[in-house]
Amino acid sequence: MQDGCRQLKAAILTYGNSSVGRALVSKTSCREFEPLFPCQSVRIMFKSIVQYCKDSYDELVHKVTWPSLKELTNTALIVLYASIIIALIVFAMDFVFEKFMGLVYSLFR
């Protein structure tokens, strides 16, 4: 089994790999696929997933700098004021365009 794994890895390094897998050469099993790395067990895959989750938690808790309540409040107010100003500008442009188009349409009646 280990020799087969070495041959498979050598073939992958030589010819590249794909996400689909390698088709079997046997004529009786031609509709099946074998995995690219048959020697890797599911346990190793789950260990790497668990390690990724642990690393993500560690980074979020210990390495990320979170804003203080005062900073968060200030930035939220800035976003609120900017949104209100932009909404008023769009409202004014819409109002002026509506009156202008009303004037244009009244000329051609």
Q: What is the pLDDT of residue 82?
A: 98
Structure confidence at residue 85 (pLDDT): 98
State whether 59 and 97 are in the same domain.
Answer: no
Q: Is residue 52 located within the same domain as residue 83?
A: no
Same domain, 41 and 55: yes
Q: Match 């002026």 to its residue by tokens.
A: 96
Residues 60, 81 within the same domain? no
Residue 73 sits in the same domain as residue 59: no
Q: Going by C-beta distance under 8 Å and a sequence separation of 6 or more, which residues neighbour residue 37?
A: 8, 9
Q: Identify residue 1 by its one-letter amino acid code.
A: M
| Domain count within the chain | 2
Same domain, 44 and 84: no
User: Residues 71, 25: one domain?
Assistant: no
Q: Are residues 50 and 102 in the same domain?
A: no
Cβ atoms of 30 and 43 within 8 Å: the answer is no
| Mean pLDDT, range 83-90, rounded to an integer | 98
For the question of whether the overall pTM of this predicted structure is more than 0.75, the answer is no
54 and 2 in one domain?
Answer: yes
**pLDDT more than 90, % of the chain:** 50
Q: Which of 10-24, 42-56, 57-71 is the least confident region?
A: 10-24
Bridge partners of 33, per DSSP, are 23
For residue 51, give its domain range: 1-64
Same domain, 1 and 51: yes
